[in-house]
Amino acid sequence: MGKQLITLTVNGDSHEIAIQSHHTLLDVLRNELGLTGTKRGCTAGSCGACTVNGDAGEAICSCLSLAIEWDGRSVTTIEGVQEGSELHPVQDAFLEFGAVQCGFCTPGLIMTTKALLDVNSSPSEDEINEALAGAFCRCTGHIKVKKAVRKAVEMLRDRAAGNAG
Amino acid sequence: MHLPQFEYIRAKNLADGLAVLAEYGADAKVMSGGSDLLINMKYRLDTPKVLVSMNGVSELKTVEETADGGLRIGAGCQLTDLVANPAISERFPVLRDAMSAVGSRHIRNIATLGGNLCLETRCWYTNQSENWRMTREGCFKTDLEACHVIKTANRCHAINSSDTAPALMVLDASVVLASHAGQREVALIDFYRDDGVDHTVVKPDELLTAVLIPGSDRRSIFAKLAQRVGLDFAVGTFAASIRGSNDAPDSVCLVLNSVSAAPKALAESEKILIESGLTDEAIEAAAIAARKALGELTNLFTPSGFKRRLVKTLIRNALHELRDKVN
């Protein structure tokens, strides 16, 4: 059960990493690549703190995916969301509404929100609730988070209109 | 929690995967999504020597329409993809509803239909970390003939929490089990065993490859109760289907899950509804009969008396809704 070499693209950068078969994607992101923005929470798929976006932009729990299955694939973490020096609109919206208490769940919530808004530019209340159900804030609640998601929808829409104009 | 060590083998195709299973037998464990298996491995409930990944097997990821108006769904299809599949939504909305109820979006993005059908049984004692379990002696699932959930039990009462199983059962679905030596079809109603330790008829060298749903003119409904609906395992799931009119149905099929090691077909309640139709009184009687049929009840952090009342309400409300459904 020696180490095996995989090629993993993280936030656009390709890495060759020696891993063991029992390492999860979360283990590799945090321990091998030092990308500690992705949090280790329950490690059982309940809390969503470890959420990253997969090849198709989908939200997944990196604690429930073996790193070895990601050979040749790409993943986006919270470190790759920012666009140059500009925060992503979802990040800006979370800041504006203070949708943070201790902050531990925030990277997961932002990746979850981004996964939703990347494929659905005008989500309904139900769709937001459904998407966010897998990412859990234990400190405070989801009211501010949902306000931030709504704001992010507006900001992304304005930006799209601005680009079109 | 970290995973134990294992040897990882990625099946290139179905034949390759089945050959690996034939070679390693009970030492191997099949993984597709892994959202259930990997957690059980972290808990050290499962410590396979070899993990066979079926994620690269394209034969398991197809959905085909069959000549009788039914569907053949590959066991390795991801739940998110199946929920969005128009053929499923059109023909079997009850299955779509059940699949949408599984876990969270994060889980459904990796979990598969075959995985949900083979979901490991759970109870409040065993499905915890190894350290938690060390506070008591073992149980049927580990190394002792004992049950901490029902003290007098002579077998494991861990419950089956699959949301898709009851929905597929009321659609008369069956599954294809393939091995190196050949394949067999098993009706889903015969697929589960009422024993938490050995809860399906799948042999160590077999793999659930597909789900077969026959064409159907049944009206059906799925309902789930859970503490946190967006994610949790159910306190109770219920599926029902009916053919014919509400007043004089030709056939009624009722299945309850998350109450015992195997999904429970509610024969007595079905009889009441076939004899009397879906009247308010018959629905109430059917719900009471279902509650009586529960038998010994184990659960996840829900007192059993409360759970019995919940189940009755779940069934009654769902049957009222089914009565008003046109198709």
**Domain stop point among B11, B32, B59:** B59
CATH of the domain at B165: 3.30.465.10
Mean pLDDT of B229-238: 87
Please determine, for residue B292, whether its predicted confidence score (pLDDT) is greater than 70: yes
Q: Looking at the structure, tell me whether residues B92 and B102 fall in a common domain.
A: yes
Q: Which residue has the higher pLDDT, B217 or B229?
A: B217
- Torsion A11-A15-A18-A21 (CA) sign: positive
Q: Looking at the structure, tell me whether residues B23 and B36 fall in a common domain.
A: yes
Contact B35 A64 (CB under 8 A): yes
A81/B258 Cα distance (integer angstroms): 40
Q: Identify the pLDDT of residue B148.
A: 87
- Torsion B33-B36-B41-B47 (CA) sign: negative
B56/B53 Cα distance (integer angstroms): 7
Indicate the residue of B1, B80, B109 with minimum beta-carbon distance to A43: B1
The domain segmentation of chain A, as residue ranges, is 4-80, 89-164
Residue B2 lies in a domain: yes
Q: Looking at the structure, tell me whether residues B93 and B197 fall in a common domain.
A: yes
CATH of the domain at B49: 3.30.43.10
Residue B196 lies in a domain: yes
Q: Looking at the structure, tell me whether residues B67 and B49 fall in a common domain.
A: no
Read off the tokens for A128: 């937001």
Contact B106 A61 (CB under 8 A): yes
Query: Which residues make Cβ contacts (< 8 Å) with residue B159, sequence separation at least 6?
Result: B121, B122, B123, B196, B258, B259, B260, B261, B298, B299, B300
A to B CB pairs, distance under 8 Å: 87
A66/B301 Cα distance (integer angstroms): 30
Strand partners, A59: A53
Residue B132 lies in a domain: no
CATH of the domain at B285: 3.30.390.50
Q: Identify the pLDDT of residue A162.
A: 85
Q: Identify the pLDDT of residue A165.
A: 60
Please determine, for residue B195, whether its predicted confidence score (pLDDT) is greater than 60: yes
Residue B126 lies in a domain: no
Q: Looking at the structure, tell me whether residues B66 and B189 fall in a common domain.
A: yes
Contact A21 B7 (CB under 8 A): yes
What does residue A28 show for φ and ψ, rounded to 5 degrees? -70, -45
Mean pLDDT of B252-272: 95
The rounded mean pLDDT for chain B is 93
Q: Quick one: which of B115, B1, B12 has its CA closest to B47?
A: B1
Residue B247 class from Cβ within 10 Å (0-12 exposed, 13-18 middle, 19+ buried)?
Answer: exposed
Residue A134 class from Cβ within 10 Å (0-12 exposed, 13-18 middle, 19+ buried)?
Answer: buried
Q: Identify the pLDDT of residue B14.
A: 97
Contact A61 B4 (CB under 8 A): no
B38 touches chain A (CB under 8 A): yes
d(CA A13, nearest CA chain B) in Å = 24
d(CA B127, nearest CA chain A) in Å = 11
pLDDT-flagged residues of chain A (< 70): 1, 165
Residue B134 lies in a domain: no
Please determine, for residue B176, whether its predicted confidence score (pLDDT) is greater than 70: yes
Q: Looking at the structure, tell me whether residues B91 and B11 fall in a common domain.
A: no
Q: Identify the pLDDT of residue B304.
A: 80
Strand partners, A6: A17
Contact B106 A135 (CB under 8 A): yes
Please determine, for residue B103, whether its predicted confidence score (pLDDT) is greater than 60: yes
Please determine, for residue B303, whether its predicted confidence score (pLDDT) is greater than 90: no
Q: Looking at the structure, tell me whether residues B208 and B64 fall in a common domain.
A: yes
**Domain stop point among B59, B85, B109:** B59
Contacts of B1 in chain A (CB under 8 A): 43-44
Q: How far is CA B115 from CA B76, B207, B292, B298, B314, in A?
A: 8, 11, 31, 23, 25
Please determine, for residue B302, whether its predicted confidence score (pLDDT) is greater than 80: no
Contact B230 A130 (CB under 8 A): yes
Q: Identify the pLDDT of residue A37.
A: 97
- Torsion B131-B134-B136-B142 (CA) sign: positive
Q: Identify the pLDDT of residue B325.
A: 84
Residue of B nearest to A26 (CA): B2
Strand partners, B240: B221, B254
Strand partners, B179: B182
Apex B213 CA angle, B207 and B217, nearest 5:
170
B5 touches chain A (CB under 8 A): yes
Q: Quick one: which of B204, B203, B209 has its CA closest to B24?
A: B204
B3 touches chain A (CB under 8 A): yes
Task: Kindly report, residue by residue over B3-29, the tens digit of the pLDDT.
Answer: 999 999 999 999 999 999 999 989 999
Q: Identify the pLDDT of residue B327.
A: 54
Contact B39 A133 (CB under 8 A): no
The domain tally of chain B equals: 3
d(CA B3, nearest CA chain A) in Å = 6
Strand partners, B225: B236
**ipTM summary value:** 0.94
Q: Looking at the structure, tell me whether residues B93 and B204 fall in a common domain.
A: yes
User: First-to-last CA distance in chain A?
Assistant: 57
Domain residues for the domain of B317 are: 219-324
Q: Looking at the structure, tell me whether residues B35 and B95 fall in a common domain.
A: no
CATH tag, A89-164: 1.10.150.120
Mean pLDDT of B37-62: 96
Dump the DSSP string for A11-47: TTEEEEEEE-TT-BHHHIIIIIS--TTS----SSSSS
Q: What is the CA radius of gyration of chain A?
A: 16
Confidence of residue B191 (pLDDT cuts 50, 70, 90): very high
Confidence of residue B301 (pLDDT cuts 50, 70, 90): low
Q: Identify the pLDDT of residue B115.
A: 97
Q: Looking at the structure, tell me whether residues B272 and B176 fall in a common domain.
A: no
Please determine, for residue B133, whether its predicted confidence score (pLDDT) is greater than 90: no
B271/B207 Cα distance (integer angstroms): 35
Mean pLDDT of B224-231: 85
Residue B243 lies in a domain: yes
Indicate the residue of A45, A54, A130 with minimum beta-carbon distance to B35: A45
Task: Kindly report, residue by residue over A54-84, the tens digit of the pLDDT.
Answer: 999 999 999 999 999 999 999 999 999 998 8
Q: Looking at the structure, tell me whether residues B251 and B267 fall in a common domain.
A: yes
Q: Identify the pLDDT of residue B143.
A: 85
B13 touches chain A (CB under 8 A): no
DSSP B233: P
Mean pLDDT of B49-54: 97
Residue B142 lies in a domain: no
Q: Which residue has the higher pLDDT, A128 or B125?
A: A128
Q: Looking at the structure, tell me whether residues B251 and B316 fall in a common domain.
A: yes
Contact A48 B230 (CB under 8 A): no
The bridge status of strand B50-53 relative to strand B71-74 is unpaired
Residue B294 lies in a domain: yes
Q: Identify the pLDDT of residue B137.
A: 87
Specify the fold of A4-80. Answer: Ubiquitin-like (UB roll) (3.10.20)
